[in-house]
Structure 1
Amino acid sequence: MINYLKEIKENNSDCIYLKTIAAVENEIKLIRITLGIRTSNKEFVNICKRTLESVKKGDIMVINKIVHLHSELSKKQFKEVLKVIKDDIKYHSGLCAYNDEKVLEVINSSVEIVKRCYE
Protein backbone atom coordinates (compact mmCIF):
# COMPACT_ATOMS: atom_id res chain seq x y z
CA MET A 1 0.00 0.00 0.00
CA ILE A 2 2.77 2.45 0.93
CA ASN A 3 4.59 1.80 -2.36
CA TYR A 4 1.40 2.49 -4.32
CA LEU A 5 0.91 5.75 -2.42
CA LYS A 6 4.46 6.83 -3.26
CA GLU A 7 3.95 5.86 -6.90
CA ILE A 8 0.72 7.87 -7.10
CA LYS A 9 2.32 10.86 -5.37
CA GLU A 10 5.25 10.87 -7.78
CA ASN A 11 3.19 10.36 -10.94
CA ASN A 12 0.13 12.44 -10.12
CA SER A 13 0.23 16.09 -9.12
CA ASP A 14 -3.46 15.94 -8.16
CA CYS A 15 -3.55 15.21 -4.40
CA ILE A 16 -7.28 14.49 -4.47
CA TYR A 17 -6.58 10.84 -5.25
CA LEU A 18 -4.28 10.49 -2.24
CA LYS A 19 -6.88 12.07 0.05
CA THR A 20 -9.59 9.78 -1.27
CA ILE A 21 -7.86 6.39 -1.00
CA ALA A 22 -8.34 5.98 2.75
CA ALA A 23 -11.94 7.14 2.54
CA VAL A 24 -12.67 4.66 -0.25
CA GLU A 25 -11.14 1.79 1.71
CA ASN A 26 -13.25 2.66 4.74
CA GLU A 27 -16.41 2.99 2.69
CA ILE A 28 -15.78 -0.34 0.95
CA LYS A 29 -15.61 -1.95 4.40
CA LEU A 30 -18.85 -0.16 5.33
CA ILE A 31 -20.72 -1.45 2.27
CA ARG A 32 -19.37 -4.91 2.92
CA ILE A 33 -20.81 -4.87 6.44
CA THR A 34 -24.09 -3.33 5.24
CA LEU A 35 -24.58 -5.89 2.49
CA GLY A 36 -23.31 -8.81 4.57
CA ILE A 37 -21.30 -10.07 1.61
CA ARG A 38 -19.07 -13.09 2.24
CA THR A 39 -16.39 -12.58 -0.39
CA SER A 40 -12.66 -12.02 -0.52
CA ASN A 41 -11.33 -8.46 -0.55
CA LYS A 42 -10.38 -8.76 -4.22
CA GLU A 43 -13.83 -10.02 -5.25
CA PHE A 44 -15.52 -7.34 -3.17
CA VAL A 45 -13.38 -4.53 -4.58
CA ASN A 46 -14.31 -5.75 -8.08
CA ILE A 47 -18.01 -5.63 -7.15
CA CYS A 48 -17.63 -2.07 -5.85
CA LYS A 49 -15.69 -1.02 -8.93
CA ARG A 50 -18.33 -2.42 -11.31
CA THR A 51 -21.08 -0.79 -9.28
CA LEU A 52 -19.44 2.63 -9.24
CA GLU A 53 -18.70 2.40 -12.96
CA SER A 54 -22.33 1.57 -13.68
CA VAL A 55 -23.54 4.47 -11.54
CA LYS A 56 -21.18 6.84 -13.33
CA LYS A 57 -22.61 5.67 -16.67
CA GLY A 58 -26.17 5.83 -15.34
CA ASP A 59 -26.62 2.10 -15.88
CA ILE A 60 -28.96 0.85 -13.17
CA MET A 61 -29.14 -2.70 -14.59
CA VAL A 62 -25.76 -3.68 -13.13
CA ILE A 63 -26.85 -2.38 -9.73
CA ASN A 64 -30.06 -4.41 -9.98
CA LYS A 65 -28.05 -7.55 -10.77
CA ILE A 66 -25.72 -7.01 -7.81
CA VAL A 67 -28.64 -6.35 -5.46
CA HIS A 68 -30.47 -9.42 -6.76
CA LEU A 69 -27.33 -11.54 -6.49
CA HIS A 70 -26.86 -10.77 -2.81
CA SER A 71 -30.57 -10.25 -2.06
CA GLU A 72 -29.69 -8.16 0.96
CA LEU A 73 -30.95 -4.74 -0.08
CA SER A 74 -33.63 -3.36 -2.37
CA LYS A 75 -32.63 -1.13 -5.30
CA LYS A 76 -33.71 1.93 -3.30
CA GLN A 77 -31.65 0.90 -0.24
CA PHE A 78 -28.63 0.11 -2.38
CA LYS A 79 -28.83 3.48 -4.12
CA GLU A 80 -29.02 5.08 -0.66
CA VAL A 81 -25.84 3.24 0.36
CA LEU A 82 -24.10 4.57 -2.76
CA LYS A 83 -25.36 8.09 -2.02
CA VAL A 84 -23.98 7.91 1.52
CA ILE A 85 -20.64 6.70 0.18
CA LYS A 86 -20.46 9.49 -2.39
CA ASP A 87 -21.51 12.19 0.09
CA ASP A 88 -19.22 10.88 2.82
CA ILE A 89 -16.20 10.74 0.55
CA LYS A 90 -17.07 14.15 -0.87
CA TYR A 91 -17.09 15.59 2.66
CA HIS A 92 -14.08 13.80 4.15
CA SER A 93 -11.73 14.08 1.19
CA GLY A 94 -12.13 17.79 0.55
CA LEU A 95 -14.13 17.34 -2.65
CA CYS A 96 -16.99 19.66 -1.63
CA ALA A 97 -16.26 22.03 -4.50
CA TYR A 98 -16.74 19.28 -7.09
CA ASN A 99 -19.99 18.18 -8.68
CA ASP A 100 -21.31 14.64 -8.18
CA GLU A 101 -20.04 13.42 -11.55
CA LYS A 102 -16.47 14.51 -10.73
CA VAL A 103 -16.72 12.90 -7.28
CA LEU A 104 -17.84 9.59 -8.80
CA GLU A 105 -14.94 9.81 -11.25
CA VAL A 106 -12.49 10.28 -8.37
CA ILE A 107 -14.10 7.43 -6.39
CA ASN A 108 -13.88 5.16 -9.42
CA SER A 109 -10.18 5.96 -9.92
CA SER A 110 -9.51 5.45 -6.22
CA VAL A 111 -11.28 2.09 -6.18
CA GLU A 112 -9.02 1.03 -9.05
CA ILE A 113 -6.00 1.99 -6.92
CA VAL A 114 -7.39 0.10 -3.92
CA LYS A 115 -8.00 -2.93 -6.15
CA ARG A 116 -4.33 -2.88 -7.22
CA CYS A 117 -3.29 -2.84 -3.57
CA TYR A 118 -5.18 -6.08 -2.91
CA GLU A 119 -3.73 -7.91 -5.93
Structure 2
Amino acid sequence: MYYFPEQPPYLLLPIGFFIALTSGLALSGTIKLVVQKWQISDEQNPQNVSSWRALIVPFLGIAVGSCLFLCSGLEIFGFPSFLALTVGLPISLLTCLLVWYQLGSMLDFVKTRGMKSLDLDSFS
Protein backbone atom coordinates (compact mmCIF):
# COMPACT_ATOMS: atom_id res chain seq x y z
CA MET A 1 0.00 0.00 0.00
CA TYR A 2 2.64 2.53 1.04
CA TYR A 3 5.94 3.11 -0.67
CA PHE A 4 8.96 2.96 1.60
CA PRO A 5 12.29 3.18 -0.22
CA GLU A 6 14.80 0.68 1.02
CA GLN A 7 17.69 3.12 0.80
CA PRO A 8 16.71 6.73 0.21
CA PRO A 9 19.44 8.78 -1.48
CA TYR A 10 20.48 10.74 1.59
CA LEU A 11 24.02 11.14 0.28
CA LEU A 12 22.92 12.52 -3.12
CA LEU A 13 21.11 15.44 -1.48
CA PRO A 14 24.23 17.17 -0.09
CA ILE A 15 26.26 16.15 -3.15
CA GLY A 16 23.75 17.87 -5.45
CA PHE A 17 23.70 20.93 -3.20
CA PHE A 18 27.52 21.03 -3.17
CA ILE A 19 27.70 20.75 -6.97
CA ALA A 20 25.16 23.55 -7.44
CA LEU A 21 26.82 25.77 -4.83
CA THR A 22 30.36 25.43 -6.17
CA SER A 23 29.18 25.84 -9.76
CA GLY A 24 27.26 28.95 -8.72
CA LEU A 25 30.40 30.43 -7.20
CA ALA A 26 32.30 29.58 -10.39
CA LEU A 27 29.56 31.19 -12.51
CA SER A 28 29.65 34.31 -10.36
CA GLY A 29 33.40 34.65 -10.79
CA THR A 30 33.18 33.98 -14.52
CA ILE A 31 30.47 36.61 -14.99
CA LYS A 32 32.58 39.15 -13.10
CA LEU A 33 35.56 38.39 -15.34
CA VAL A 34 33.47 38.62 -18.53
CA VAL A 35 31.99 41.96 -17.52
CA GLN A 36 35.43 43.32 -16.55
CA LYS A 37 36.74 42.18 -19.92
CA TRP A 38 33.87 44.00 -21.63
CA GLN A 39 34.60 47.18 -19.72
CA ILE A 40 38.32 47.06 -20.52
CA SER A 41 38.07 46.20 -24.20
CA ASP A 42 34.83 48.19 -24.71
CA GLU A 43 33.68 45.90 -27.50
CA GLN A 44 30.14 46.30 -28.77
CA ASN A 45 29.37 42.75 -29.97
CA PRO A 46 26.71 41.31 -27.60
CA GLN A 47 26.92 37.86 -29.20
CA ASN A 48 30.56 37.29 -28.30
CA VAL A 49 30.93 33.50 -28.52
CA SER A 50 33.95 33.20 -26.25
CA SER A 51 32.18 34.87 -23.32
CA TRP A 52 29.11 32.63 -23.71
CA ARG A 53 31.28 29.50 -23.87
CA ALA A 54 32.90 30.46 -20.59
CA LEU A 55 29.48 30.61 -18.92
CA ILE A 56 28.11 27.30 -20.21
CA VAL A 57 30.16 24.89 -18.09
CA PRO A 58 29.43 26.46 -14.66
CA PHE A 59 25.79 26.93 -15.60
CA LEU A 60 25.48 23.27 -16.59
CA GLY A 61 27.00 22.40 -13.22
CA ILE A 62 24.28 24.42 -11.52
CA ALA A 63 21.64 22.67 -13.62
CA VAL A 64 22.96 19.19 -12.85
CA GLY A 65 23.41 19.95 -9.15
CA SER A 66 19.94 21.42 -8.73
CA CYS A 67 18.37 18.54 -10.65
CA LEU A 68 20.18 16.01 -8.49
CA PHE A 69 19.20 17.90 -5.34
CA LEU A 70 15.54 18.16 -6.33
CA CYS A 71 15.17 14.56 -7.51
CA SER A 72 16.89 13.09 -4.47
CA GLY A 73 14.87 15.35 -2.17
CA LEU A 74 11.64 14.16 -3.73
CA GLU A 75 12.77 10.57 -3.38
CA ILE A 76 13.65 11.09 0.29
CA PHE A 77 10.16 12.44 0.93
CA GLY A 78 8.58 9.27 -0.40
CA PHE A 79 8.28 9.61 -4.15
CA PRO A 80 9.25 6.50 -6.11
CA SER A 81 12.44 6.90 -8.16
CA PHE A 82 10.66 7.06 -11.51
CA LEU A 83 8.13 9.63 -10.29
CA ALA A 84 10.85 11.72 -8.62
CA LEU A 85 12.73 11.87 -11.93
CA THR A 86 9.52 12.52 -13.87
CA VAL A 87 8.68 15.50 -11.67
CA GLY A 88 12.20 16.74 -10.86
CA LEU A 89 13.76 16.77 -14.33
CA PRO A 90 11.16 18.97 -16.08
CA ILE A 91 10.97 21.40 -13.16
CA SER A 92 14.73 21.84 -12.90
CA LEU A 93 15.33 21.94 -16.67
CA LEU A 94 12.57 24.48 -17.26
CA THR A 95 13.84 26.63 -14.41
CA CYS A 96 17.40 26.44 -15.75
CA LEU A 97 16.26 27.38 -19.26
CA LEU A 98 14.36 30.38 -17.94
CA VAL A 99 17.34 31.48 -15.83
CA TRP A 100 19.66 31.09 -18.85
CA TYR A 101 17.32 33.25 -20.91
CA GLN A 102 17.20 35.89 -18.16
CA LEU A 103 20.97 35.82 -17.76
CA GLY A 104 21.44 36.31 -21.48
CA SER A 105 19.02 39.21 -21.64
CA MET A 106 20.64 40.88 -18.63
CA LEU A 107 24.11 40.50 -20.13
CA ASP A 108 22.87 41.95 -23.42
CA PHE A 109 21.28 44.82 -21.49
CA VAL A 110 24.54 45.52 -19.67
CA LYS A 111 26.45 45.22 -22.91
CA THR A 112 24.33 47.78 -24.74
CA ARG A 113 23.55 50.26 -21.94
CA GLY A 114 26.44 49.80 -19.52
CA MET A 115 26.68 48.78 -15.88
CA LYS A 116 25.20 52.04 -14.62
CA SER A 117 21.83 51.04 -16.06
CA LEU A 118 21.54 48.24 -13.46
CA ASP A 119 22.10 50.51 -10.46
CA LEU A 120 18.92 49.90 -8.50
CA ASP A 121 20.00 51.99 -5.50
CA SER A 122 19.56 55.22 -7.41
CA PHE A 123 15.79 54.66 -7.74
CA SER A 124 15.11 54.87 -4.00
The question of a shared fold, defined as TM-score above 0.5 by the shorter chain, is answered with no
Query: Structure 1-normalised TM-score?
Result: 0.32
Query: Structure 2-normalised TM-score?
Result: 0.31
Q: Which one scores higher on RCO, CA 8 angstroms, separation ≥ 6?
A: 1
